[in-house]
Amino acid sequence: MKTTWPGDPHEMWAEVDDDGADLWVPGPDDLPPHATPRDLARNYLVVPAWWHRAILVLLILGIAAIVAVTGGIGLDWPSYGLFKRVLAVVLIVIVAGGVLWAVVTYIANEIRWYRARPEILTIAARRLSEHPIPVWGLFVGTIRLGDRQSGPNDTPDDIVFVFDLRVPRERLQRQRAVVTAWVEKVAAAQHTNVPPELGAAFGDRWSIHCADVFGEQLRGVWMWRKGSILPYQVLGMALADPQTAEEFTDDDVVFLRRTPKDLRRRSRIGRP
């Protein structure tokens, strides 16, 4: 299978002699309980953290603060003409209205979530008990996707490989060995950690099935685009089957509420 990806990923399974026996990989037993709504609420992040949910409020408050600092302090109103006064009042009303709307919307959504929370947890716990699909994310700290910037100082996006932990341990170790060897091969062939060919191949997509890039041996393994300013998450339970799903993103996974530092350290390829 010919691809436009750098490093010839479709040949890596045959090229890599290492079966990954020395590589650490987690197992399904490494995930905490999720059988009851209480277990799920205690151990997993069923919905984004509060600051994710309040991002619009925080953004509008930031704009309001900037307007207040740059235009609302030390105004010499008597020296302003009628047009400038009206314009300033309109701007203040718009900003104040936006802040009020954002706060009211956030509070209403939080009340709605609080009321729906028991039912959501019950449905999710039942779904995960009937069809448990543990997954593991391997963060790439060696190369990045330079076609899009999401962090301070135009930091490129990161890459995360997501593995299906239902496969036998030996196969999972070899899958990790293959993607690790490919990442190292691409990194060694470049003078930059943001290979342009990699960004071009990934395109505007947020997730790519590795079976389409590496071959059927990596069915169930996915490559995700991750914003560099966001924390990377490691262990979780999938709500969709990564083996058969046409699309598989972080919206389809319930991740751990808290990730130990040691687990985060083990779940990465290289260091940025």
Q: What is the pLDDT of residue 68?
A: 64
Q: What is the pLDDT of residue 57?
A: 67
Q: What is the pLDDT of residue 86?
A: 74
Residue 33 sits at the vertex; the CA angle it makes with 110 and 206, to the nearest 5 degrees, is 60
End-to-end CA distance of the chain: 31
Task: Please give the Cα distance from 26 to 105 (Å, whole number).
Answer: 41
Q: What is the pTM of this model?
A: 0.77
Q: What is the pLDDT of residue 248?
A: 95
Q: What is the pLDDT of residue 115?
A: 81
Query: What phi, psi does 224 have (nearest 5°)?
Result: -110, 145
Q: What is the pLDDT of residue 77?
A: 55
Locus of tokens 């990699």:
198
Go through the chain and tell me how many residues it has: 272
Task: Please give the Cα distance from 100 to 94 (Å, whole number).
Answer: 10
Q: What is the pLDDT of residue 103?
A: 80
Task: Please give the Cα distance from 221 to 215 (Å, whole number).
Answer: 10
Mean pLDDT by 10 residues, the chain (272 residues): 77 87 90 88 76 66 67 57 72 78 79 79 84 94 79 79 96 95 90 85 91 96 90 92 94 90 91 55
Q: What is the pLDDT of residue 2?
A: 47
